[in-house]
Amino acid sequence: MKKLLILSLAAVFGLAGCGGNEEAGSGGSGAEDETLTIGISLPSATHGWMGALIDSAEKQAQALKESEGIDYVMTNAADPNKQANDVDDLIAQDVDVIVMLPIESAALTPVGQKVKDAGIPLVIVDRELENDAATVVVKGDNEGIGVNAGKYFIEQLNGQGKIVEITGPPSSVTEQRGSGFQEAVASQEGMEIIASQSGDFSTEKSLEVMQNILQANPQIDAVFTQDDGMALGVLQAIKEAGRTDIKFVTGAGGAKEVFEDMKNDGLMKATFLYSPKMVEDAVKIAADIAQGEEPAEKMVVKEATQVTKENVDEYYDPESKF
């Protein structure tokens, strides 16, 4: 009888033990399943705008982690191959959604397709892919920047002038800003783009490129740059060369140093807003998608507001990192 009782009790405790382990295992798995993760793939901070964007992405992701418990994994790459590998790793980690700013549009397009094929929603920032892999695109009005800059050049030069164009690396941003500007300028027979070279969105590279252009061209009326960081390199090259023929330089972005040059009556006369804080919208959208919400829009475009000395005080922030 005692033996039977002991066996019965052992069976009961054994079942309870099994049930307890199964419940704990299920609970652990459930907890893991409930933890949402955003993968964020960005270029390295090779210039001020990108540095500010990375900072904004990190702050927004951290805020979501603290307020909503959404985890994130952030990677930075200096070249397209490294970024492709970074995204492959994010796919392997089975993140719930990926935010990506492609270093180069064409090079990262197949990677975007991999993300889509893996069933992971993809939020693209700034530079678009060449396919439909993106769930949502968040960008500035790149074509608007080019068109608005072109109109500004026509107005300031009265439809007559020799123009230099400093472009970015191969991407949708470069193509759209360039085509918008070129189409606007082409409407005036008296305006000619005498040189167009890439400054790779780098102040240092743009300084070097502009030095060569200045040596090759004794007469330049104005310079269109596709990025404020590049504009700073151009301004330095013009200053070092002592050139007085150039009437003005324009940029894009909204950098503090560019605003300061405007305020001090420098050669920088206009820029067009393209805030790095657009990535905050992208991370918020990614969090909503991860939580099961359908995005309200497939394309989110931030306005390309023109900033000159007349309205620069509205946008100048002496504490800005960019």
Task: Give the residue extent of every domain in the chain.
Answer: 36-139+276-301, 142-252
- The CATH number given to 142-252 is 3.40.50.2300
**Of 22-36, 107-121, 194-208, 279-293, which gets the smallest average pLDDT?**
22-36
Same topology, domains 36-139+276-301 and 142-252? Answer is yes
Q: If residue 31 lies in a helix (H) or strand (E), which one and from where to where?
A: helix 2-34
pLDDT digits (tens, 9 = 90+) for 43-93: 998 777 888 899 999 999 999 999 999 999 999 999 999 999 999 999 999
Of 44, 93, 49, 103, residue with least CA distance to 72: 93
Contact yes or no for 252/145 (Cβ under 8 A): yes
Q: How far is CA 300 from CA 43, 71, 288, in A?
A: 21, 24, 15
pLDDT digits (tens, 9 = 90+) for 146-168: 999 999 999 999 999 999 999 99
pLDDT digits (tens, 9 = 90+) for 2-52: 333 333 434 433 433 433 333 333 333 333 457 899 999 999 987 778 888
Decide: pTM greater than 0.75.
no
Separation CA 32–CA 142 (nearest Å): 41
Separation CA 248–CA 235 (nearest Å): 9
Chain centroid to CA 212:
29
DSSP string, 281-316: HHHHHHHHHHTTPPPS-SEEEE---EE-TTTGGGT-
Question: The domain 36-139+276-301 belongs to what CATH superfamily?
Answer: Response regulator (3.40.50.2300)
Question: Tokens representing 103?
Answer: 């270093």
